[in-house]
């Protein structure tokens, strides 16, 4: 963990099994604090230590990963993400929403969503589709900017000899066949792809069949080696899904599964050596785009559609609802044939994507600067951040 960074657990670990189990304790803590009572003795409990950290923060950043504010994750939206915003509001802390996706917004919760999001000083979003959803919700008070995904801010530097060692250890590159093309794949489970399907198990069985047939097709037609990149571990591990796909193929000798012992930087470095990436996991598409690796994206949420649009390669996107073996092989064929053009497009877009991603971090610095000036109203924030969006506009 970097110096000066402390990780505190508030209540998200309990949330999805016991929604609102923590709420009475939060209300009690807020009530005691309002009475002016000393609460330092409660800090031995992680929940109260987290609340105390929020209360003493100069600015609170809400940075959920996916579109957790909206219909797609409504099961824990209210008791987790919106509750964090409400706590920051009750404690009177300046608050910013940092670079997520959002929406769609179609339910009776829109009033509370609008009310809480309007308490933010500033909101950055990582895709233009989320901006359309937010505009439709009627959030008017915060400044709102469309950035690129925050992962574009970070460069990956792995020593070349270390990368070659990994490629050899994992048998991804064979010294006797150094010119064998490499195609990477990240599959995703029913929890992401088919959460709203009438029969998720049946849809998942179809998905496994399509992916297995696609792998056989790739090896037979492109004489390639296929590399699977598991991106989730623990209870949500991708490994069982990958194994179920591999077991249905006829070409296991040309399939590699990257070890789960490597961190994100090494995964990105290995992806940089792919000739084509088939990304069902959102951040594997980001990793490919960052390395200017031609990518075909299977989108289960609008965040993937947004980043492929920003990168100028939206024509190589497949909506999960339209996935079939025929669709998959057709888009992969076009991606393979046009991979030099795709790589050039990504190389041209990357400088602006990196600059655009910095909007979120510059916005945080702007809020802190305005707080130091003693003025953090909308007009002052807008004045301080003026020209930023124009400077990075694509």
Q: Return mean pLDDT, the chain.
A: 90
In this predicted structure, the answer to whether residue 204 has a pLDDT above a threshold of 80 is: yes
Distances (CA, A) of 51 to 10, 13, 30, 168, 393: 7, 15, 9, 48, 38
Beta strands 255-257; 276-279: pairing state? unpaired
172 pLDDT higher than 90: yes
How far apart (Å, rounded) are the C-alpha atoms in residues 283 and 99?
Answer: 14
pLDDT(55) > 50? yes
- Are the CB atoms for 308 and 286 separated by under 8 Å? no
Tokens of 64: 């959920």
The closest of 122, 46, 117 to 84, measured between CA atoms, is 117
Lowest mean pLDDT among 200-209, 254-263, 310-319, 384-393: 384-393
Instruction: Enumerate the domain spans of the chain.
Output: 12-146, 158-349
| CATH assignment, 158-349 | 3.40.50.2000
Other beta carbons within 10 angstroms of residue 38's beta carbon come to 8
What share of the chain has pLDDT > 70, as a percent? 95
Residues in contact with 318: Cβ distance below 8 Å, sequence separation at least 6, in sequence order: 296, 297, 298, 299, 327, 328, 331
**What does the pLDDT read at residue 384?**
76
Task: Give the global pTM.
Answer: 0.90
Q: Residue 320: count other Cβ atoms within 10 Å of its Cβ.
A: 18
pLDDT at 19 over 70: no
Q: Which pLDDT band, with edges at 50, 70 and 90, does 394 fall under?
A: very low
């Amino acid at each position: 963990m970097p110096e000066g960074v402390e990780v505190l657990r508030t209540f998200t670990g309990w949330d999805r099994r016991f929604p609102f189990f923590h709420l009475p304790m939060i209300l009690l803590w807020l009530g005691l604090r309002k009475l002016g009572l000393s609460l330092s003795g409660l800090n031995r409990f992680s929940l109260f230590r987290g609340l105390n950290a929020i209360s003493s923060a100069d600015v609170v950043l809400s940075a959920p990963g996916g579109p957790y504010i909206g219909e797609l994750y409504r099961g824990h939206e209210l008791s987790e993400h919106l509750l964090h915003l409400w706590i920051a509001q009750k404690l009177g802390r300046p608050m910013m929403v940092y670079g997520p996706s959002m929406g769609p917004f179609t339910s009776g919760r829109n009033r509370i969503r609008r009310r809480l999001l309007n308490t933010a000083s500033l909101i950055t979003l990582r895709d233009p589709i989320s901006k359309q959803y937010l505009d439709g919700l009627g959030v008017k008070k915060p400044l709102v900017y469309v950035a690129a995904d925050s992962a574009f801010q970070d460069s990956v530097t792995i020593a070349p000899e270390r990368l070659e060692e990994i490629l050899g250890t994992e048998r991804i590159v064979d010294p006797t066949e150094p010119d064998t093309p490499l195609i990477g794949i990240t599959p995703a489970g029913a929890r992401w792809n088919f959460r709203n399907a009438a029969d998720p198990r049946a849809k998942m069985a179809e998905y496994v069949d399509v992916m297995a047939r696609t792998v056989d097709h790739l090896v037979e037609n492109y004489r390639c080696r296929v590399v699977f990149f598991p991106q989730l571990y623990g209870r949500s591990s991708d490994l069982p899904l990958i194994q179920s796909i591999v077991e249905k193929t006829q070409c296991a000798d040309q399939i590699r599964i990257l070890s789960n012992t490597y961190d994100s930087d090494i995964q990105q470095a290995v992806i940089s050596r792919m000739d084509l990436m088939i990304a069902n996991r959102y951040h594997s598409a980001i990793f490919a785009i960052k390395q200017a690796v031609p990518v075909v994206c299977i989108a289960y949420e609008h965040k993937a559609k947004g980043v492929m649009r920003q990168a100028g390669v939206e024509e190589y996107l497949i909506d999960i609802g339209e996935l079939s073996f025929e669709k998959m092989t057709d888009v992969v064929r076009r991606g393979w044939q046009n991979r030099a053009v795709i790589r050039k497009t990504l190389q041209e877009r990357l400088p602006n994507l990196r600059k655009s991603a910095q909007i979120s971090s510059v916005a945080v610095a702007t809020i802190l600067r305005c707080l130091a000036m003693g003025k953090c109203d909308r007009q002052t924030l807008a004045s301080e951040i003026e020209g930023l969006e124009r400077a990075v506009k694509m």
